């Protein structure tokens, strides 16, 4: 177990147990860890010895959704701007159309210019509305992805107890549950500076 002592391993294993359920994290849009909240070295050792595991297909799916979240946020910002521009353009279009329909005594050049402006504004409006639909669909696509992921997690008995730990999906294995229970019976001060092998070998004498 290298330079990582049993205290760090136990603390990390307990952290996995106490982390939010994965389904809760999905609904909370995958919260980020605080500073120094995750001991990567200790977790790697627990992972290598099969005390915890990462459902790799699920982790890939979540990475994809988190990527979509970034795009959806950008789309939401764009949508707000588009909605404002659409309102302004709609007003300009109505005014231009009303002006173009007013009076038959205008010369031909002016009528053509006003008709051209109405057509131009109508084309701009159609383009903005199409972009608005695309931006709206990005948010709806993200919601569908999250709902599908929640359904997968809640339908799979192996994932219903999965946790969101280290900004990734984590499952504590049966070996991990046994180890946590074993270390829980030992005075925490006895875990410091000792390898896991030493604690397992002399555990009953250290309690």
Domain that holds residue 80: 56-156
151 and 186 co-located in one domain: no
Q: Given 133, 156, 179, which residue is the final one in a domain? A: 156
Order of all β-strands in the sheet with 169-172: 52-53, 169-172, 163-164
The count of domains in the chain is 2
Q: What is the mean pLDDT of residues 4-15?
A: 94
- Per-residue pLDDT, 82: 75
Lowest-confidence segment of 45-54, 77-86, 120-129 by average pLDDT: 77-86
pLDDT greater than 90 at residue 59: yes
Poorest-pLDDT segment among 28-42, 47-61, 173-187:
28-42
> Residue 1's pLDDT is what?
46
pLDDT reported for residue 205:
62
So what's the pLDDT on residue 106?
65
User: Are residue 66 and residue 139 in the same domain, yes or no?
Assistant: yes
Shared domain check, 162 and 144: no
pTM attached to this predicted model: 0.69
Domain C-terminal end among 156, 172, 188: 156
**Do residue 143 and residue 109 come from a single domain?**
yes
Same domain, residue pair 79 and 120: yes
Q: Are residues 93 and 105 located together in one domain of the fold? A: yes
* 123 and 178 fall within a common domain: no
pLDDT tens readout for residues 168-200: 999 999 999 999 999 998 888 889 999 998 888
More confident residue, 149 or 76: 149
Please tell me whether residues 169 and 189 are part of one structural domain: yes
The whole-number average pLDDT for the span 111-116 is 78
State the average pLDDT over residues 106-110: 72
Q: How confident is the model at residue 167 (pLDDT cuts 50, 70, 90)?
A: very high
Co-location of 129 and 84 in the same domain = yes
**85 plus 169 within the same structural domain:** no
Is the pLDDT confidence value at 204 over 60? no
Q: What per-residue confidence (pLDDT) applies to 201? A: 82
**Structure confidence at residue 203 (pLDDT):** 67
Residues 129-137 have a mean pLDDT of 77
Residues 131 and 201 in one domain: no
What CATH number has the domain bearing residue 39?
1.10.10
Phi, psi of 163 (to 5 degrees): -120, 160
Please tell me whether residues 162 and 152 are part of one structural domain. no
């Amino acid at each position: 177990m290298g330079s990582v002592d049993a205290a760090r391993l136990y603390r990390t294993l307990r952290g996995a147990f106490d982390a939010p359920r994965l389904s809760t994290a999905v609904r909370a849009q995958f919260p980020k860890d605080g500073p120094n909240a995750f001991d990567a070295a200790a977790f790697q050792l627990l992972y290598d010895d099969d005390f915890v595991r990462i459902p790799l297909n699920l982790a890939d799916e979540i990475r994809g959704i988190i990527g979509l979240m970034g795009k959806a946020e950008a789309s939401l910002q764009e949508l707000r701007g588009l909605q404002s521009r659409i309102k302004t353009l709609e007003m300009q279009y109505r005014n231009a159309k009303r002006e173009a329909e007013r009076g038959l005594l205008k010369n031909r050049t002016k009528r053509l210019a006003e008709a051209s402006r109405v057509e131009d504004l109508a084309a701009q409006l159609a383009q903005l509305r199409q972009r608005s639909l695309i931006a709206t669909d990005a948010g709806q696509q993200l919601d569908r992805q999250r709902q599908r992921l929640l359904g997968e997690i809640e339908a799979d008995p192996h994932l219903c107890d999965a946790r969101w730990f280290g900004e990734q999906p984590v499952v504590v294995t049966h070996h991990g549950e046994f180890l946590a229970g074993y270390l829980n019976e030992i005075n925490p001060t006895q875990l410091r500076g000792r390898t896991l092998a030493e604690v397992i070998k002399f555990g009953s004498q250290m309690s």
